[in-house]
Amino acid sequence: MTTLNQAGSITPPGSPPAPGAASPRARTGFRVPQRGRDRMAAPAAQPAVAPLLAVLRAVSPGRDETELLRGYEVAERLHRGQLRKSGAPYITHPLAVTIILAELGMDTATLVAALLHDTVEDTPYTLGQLRSDFGEEVAVLVDGVTKLDGERWGDQAEAETFRKIVLAAAADLRVLVIKLADRLHNLRTLGFQPEHKRGRYAKASQELLVPFAERLGIHMLKREMDDLAFAARDPDAHLAADRAVRSALRAAEPAFGPALGLLRPALAEQGITGRFSIRPRHLYAVHREREGDLAGLRPCDAARLLLLVDGGERDCYVALGAVHSALHPIPGRVKDFIALPKFNMYQSLHTRVISPDGDLLDVIIRSRAMHPVAEYGIVAHIREAGTGAATAERRDLVWLSRLLAWQSDAPSAAFLDSLRADLAPGDVAVFTPSGEVVALPAGATALDLAYALGPETGDLCIGALVNGRLTALSAELRSGNVVEVLTEPGGGPSEDWLRFAVTAPARVHIRRSLDRRLAEEAAAAGRRELLQALAGHQVDLLAAEAHGDSLRIARELGHAEVDHMYAALATGVLDLDDLLARFTGR
């Protein structure tokens, strides 16, 4: 397949004019080719777009290319005169992003949106013009990935941009897929950025975008993004991991040979057919698992065996039994992601066995039908079911529903930290007494489960029964635990809960409840203070409230509610003498 590195070196024909403040249409005399009848009048493809068309024809043969060529012409003309940090024409970036998405097999609307994804942000082209030229579907996708204006939003711009992407992804997951491809290409070209920016950009990528790729199950993107960010954050460790893994993989085939020699007849004896392959692990995963100690890295540490079974779920379980009959299994190391799929719809059986040479060997078993989703996640569903899956499949992504449930309550200052916590790696699956499966991040507690079941359950919880035994709310949960949350009317969160709440929903709702309680207490204190002061002036506060005088005064002072005015008095924001003067008319 064509790679982005190749695309990044492409130079569009023609000398770019100097950029100016005028509209690109006025500057170039350019009229966007119209849709419908004018499609056939779209110009022939420029040489620069040839790599994209080659990928499109290889992955999606027979697809109409007219709209894609029109999108490229518009993007190239709008970005003409703009340069990347590398000195390459800017169009090489949206073109490269589109090639990534074409390699994934994304639909035409997504590819056109990828070509145009920076036009509204970086050129005078407006969203309204784009909508008129390319239609509502493309406009929604471009709007979803367009950053908010930094001058207008200030320090809140990054957090609110991510909130915007999350909300757009809730309506159409293709927005997030475009954003991931955009970030992947920026990571591939990160070497052209100043050194002080590389580490910060890579860190943000690993904390936010890589987890999003994993949550959508797009492991093809996730693995490369992880390794590129790793290289930028710690070049020496990345180089060491690369050398160690390459060295180990050179001996992979002879190292795995004896195990395969036992596995193949064991599977044949059970009537199971399929294909084994040696799957290298990505560098960052090896580095993290070994905690940087790569001395003596063996082929079994650098790669795993993948078995694609010809058959369904039942055949996968039969294959697991055959693997365990041929090679001694390690107790407690079987993970069944078929019966309990991961949060990103991933399905496979994982097991660890002892090879004939005494090495610990990881084996992954899945059916051929499961394989596309295991590699491409939501993209596989979109390709199979059409663009409607980009909306429909989000119902199966519990993590997205959970994120949407708390994001509106998180202020900008706390949103990114909460998002990082919510996207943290790890996957714990616990059961409620009714049999409902709830996915939580590693380290989650019974309190986190309570809030995962709903804010009301969380606020009223007082303890939990884990596998029938009474435990504290701070008890850390393990996969397979059956947990019943105990509640009590009139209960409420305490400041202490923030010490062991792990998930973003729990932390956001606890802070919100505590802030609401503090505001209520401040309002009550302010009202008492004003009541006592007005009593000395023979003014009845209760009557003033009943007649609407208190609300009128509150709004004159800029407070939407009377309680807000009382709280401002209690906290010293309002002066008591000034407030008395308004109530007494003095």
What DSSP letter does each residue of 246-260 carry, written as one string? Answer: HHHHTTHHHHHHHHH
Rounded CA separation 173/398 (Å): 14
Catalytic residue chosen out of the listed positions 38, 65, 76, 121? 121
Same fold, 247-376 and 426-487: no
Q: What is the pLDDT of residue 45?
A: 54
Q: Has 121 been annotated as catalytic?
A: yes
Q: What is the pLDDT of residue 161?
A: 82
Q: What is the pLDDT of residue 32?
A: 53
Q: Which fold is adopted by the domain 426-487? A: Ubiquitin-like (UB roll) (3.10.20)
Rounded CA separation 277/117 (Å): 38
Q: What is the pLDDT of residue 390?
A: 54
pTM of the model: 0.76
Q: What is the pLDDT of residue 538?
A: 84
Q: What is the pLDDT of residue 12?
A: 32
Q: What is the pLDDT of residue 7?
A: 32
Q: What is the pLDDT of residue 43?
A: 47
- The residue type of 116 is L
Q: Which two tokens stand for residue 494?
A: 């305490």
Find residue 461's DSSP bridge partners. Answer: 487
**Which helix (DSSP H) or strand (DSSP E) does residue 362 occupy?**
strand 360-367
Q: What is the pLDDT of residue 22?
A: 34
Rounded CA separation 117/140 (Å): 11
Q: What is the pLDDT of residue 149?
A: 62
134 neighbors 78 (Cβ within 8 angstroms): no
Rounded CA separation 490/347 (Å): 42
Q: Report the chain (586 residues): mean pLDDT per 10 consecutive residues.
A: 32 32 36 44 66 94 93 95 92 96 94 96 94 95 82 72 84 91 95 88 90 90 95 94 95 93 96 95 93 90 96 96 96 90 89 93 96 92 67 58 74 76 75 86 91 90 94 92 92 90 88 88 90 87 88 90 90 88 82
Rounded to an integer, what is the distance from CA 417 to the centroid of its chain? 14
Domains in the chain: boundaries: 4-241, 247-376, 426-487, 511-584
Q: Which fold is adopted by the domain 247-376? A: Beta Polymerase; domain 2 (3.30.460)
Catalytic residue chosen out of the listed positions 38, 65, 76, 122? 122
Given CA atoms 186, 191, 194, 195 in this order, what sign does their dihedral have? positive
92 neighbors 10 (Cβ within 8 angstroms): yes
DSSP for 127-190, written as a single string: HHHHHHHH-HHHHHHHHHHPPPPHHHHGGGHHHHHHHHHHHHHHH-THHHHHHHHHHHHHHHTG
Rounded CA separation 548/545 (Å): 5
Q: Has 578 been annotated as catalytic?
A: no
Q: Which fold is adopted by the domain 4-241? A: Hypothetical protein af1432 (1.10.3210)
Q: Which two tokens stand for residue 281?
A: 């692990």
Find residue 69's DSSP bridge partners. Answer: none
Rounded CA separation 305/365 (Å): 9
Compute how many other C-beta atoms are within 10 angstroms of the C-beta atom of residue 488. 10
